[in-house]
Amino acid sequence: MLSVKNLTKEYKNVTAVNDISFNVEPGKIFGLLGPNGAGKTTTIRIALNIIRPTSGSVSFEGKPITNEFSNDIGYLPEERGLYKKSKVIDVINYFASLKNLDKNRTADRAKYWLNKLGIENYRVNKIEELSKGNQQKVQFITAIIHDPKLLILDEPFSGFDPINQQLIRETILSFVNSGKVVILSTHQMETAEKLCSDILLLNKGKEVCKGSLSEIKRDFGTNNVKIEFEGNASFLISLPEVNSVDLYGIYAEVHLRRDVKPAEFLRNISDKLLINQFSVIEPTLNKIFIDAINSSNKK
C-alpha cells in the first residue's frame, strides 16, 4: 500500500500541494484528478522521490520511499518522447538497466511486451521511424518492463486510437489484478470513471473530494432525473421543484431540489407531458468534477 500523509510542498510564492493525504491499495486503480495546476504533477514527483516535500511523508508498504525504492517504480509521464535517434531495443535495454534488471530477464520481457503490443517488427528500428502510437507503446514498455510494484501513469491513453486504448487498458488491468499499486492521473473523466475505484480530486493544491467513487457519487447528493418525452418541455424550468434543466430535444436532464422525491415529481408532470421514459440518474464523474471545482473556486 502506498500511503501519503499530510503532504505539503511550498515554493517561494505558491503552495503547490497543501496538506493532502491518501492511501492507494493494491488491486485497485487510484485516480488522481484535477484541473491543470492542481498539484498532480508535484504530488507524483514527490511520490517518485524526485523532489522532497516541505512537510508530510510518503511510504510504501510501511517504509518511507528512498532511492533504493526507485527500482520498484514505473512511471509514464504525460509528455511523451524518447531518444529519437536510438533503436527501440536499445532504449528499452537502457531503461531496464537503470532499474537494475539483468540482461536475460530484460531480453525475455522485451520480447514478450513487444509481441504483446504488436510492435515486434520494429525491434531494431530507430524511434523516429515509428508512428506516434508505436512510439508511445515503446515508452509504455519502458515504464513496465521491470515489473514495478508501484506504477504511476499520467494520461496513459492520450494519443492512442480506440483499439490501442483497449490494449493498454487491458494491460493496466492485468497489472492491477496481479496486486500492483497503480496511480492514474488524468483529465479524461470517462476513463477515470470506468477504471478507478478510488479517486482524489485536487484543486489549487487542496483536496476537493476523495474516497471510493461509489461513495462520492452517493454523497454528491444530486437529485437528477432523465425524461424522454414528446411535446414541449420548456415549462419544466418554471416548476417550483426544479433547480435547473438541461434540454436535449427529445430528452431532458432535470436537476430537482434536494427535498423533492423523483416519484412525486413524475406524478406532477405526467399529465402535462407525454413521457416515454423516466429514470433517476447518477451524476457522472465529469459533472462531479466540474461542480466540485467550481464550488471550490468560489470559496
What cell does 191 get?
476513463
State the alpha helices, DSSP H only, in the chain: 40-47, 88-98, 103-116, 132-144, 162-177, 189-195, 213-220, 262-269, 285-298
**36 touching another protein, by CB under 8 A:** no
Site string for another protein, 93-112 (x = CB under 8 A): -xx-xxxx------------
**Residue 66 CB, nearest approach to another protein (Å):** 10
Q: Is 86 in the site for another protein (CB under 8 A)?
A: yes
Least distance between another protein and beta carbon 207 (Å): 24
> Considering only 32-40, 76-84, 178-186, 241-249, which stretch makes contact with another protein by CB under 8 A?
76-84
Tell which one of 90, 147, 193, 291 touches another protein (CB under 8 A): 90
From 69-77, 205-213, 232-240, 280-288, give the range in contact with another protein by CB under 8 A.
69-77
C-alpha span between 58 and 261 (Å, rounded): 45
Nearer to another protein, 82 or 182 (CB): 82
SS3 call for 48: coil
CA dihedral sign, ordered 265, 271, 272, 277: positive
Rule CB under 8 A: which of 109-168 touch another protein? 142-143
- Contact region for another protein (CB under 8 A) — 32-40, 41-49, 110-118, 281-289? 41-49
Residue 297 within binding range of another protein, rule CB under 8 A? no
Between 102 and 259, whose beta carbon lies closer to another protein?
Answer: 102
Among residues 82 and 130, whose Cβ is nearest to another protein?
82
Largest CA distance in the chain: 75
User: Of the two residues 38 and 201, which places its CB atom closer to another protein in the complex?
Assistant: 38
CA dist., res. 97 & res. 106, Å (int): 8
Selected from 27, 81, 159, 211, the binder of another protein by CB under 8 A is 81
- Minimum CB distance to another protein, residue 148 (Å): 10
If one asks whether residue 187 binds another protein (CB under 8 A), the answer comes out as: no
b (16+ CB within 10 A) / e for 52-76: ebeebebebeeeebeeebbebbbbb
Phi-psi region of 39 (alpha: psi -120 to 50; beta: other; left: phi over 0): left
Distance CA 195, CA 19 (A): 26
Question: Cβ 131 to another protein, closest distance in Å?
Answer: 17
Between CA 109 and CA 234 the distance in angstroms is: 60
Using DSSP's 3-state secondary structure scheme, residue 180 falls into coil
Compute the distance between CA of residue 169 and CA of residue 210 in angstroms, rounded to an integer. 23
Among 2, 24, 38, 82, contact with another protein (rule: CB under 8 A): 82
Q: Judged by CB under 8 A, does residue 18 bind another protein?
A: no
Judged by CB under 8 A, does residue 262 bind another protein?
A: no
H or E element that contains 280: strand 274-281
Which stretches of the chain bind another protein, using CB under 8 A? 45, 48-51, 67, 70-71, 73, 75, 77-83, 85-86, 90, 94-95, 97-100, 142-143
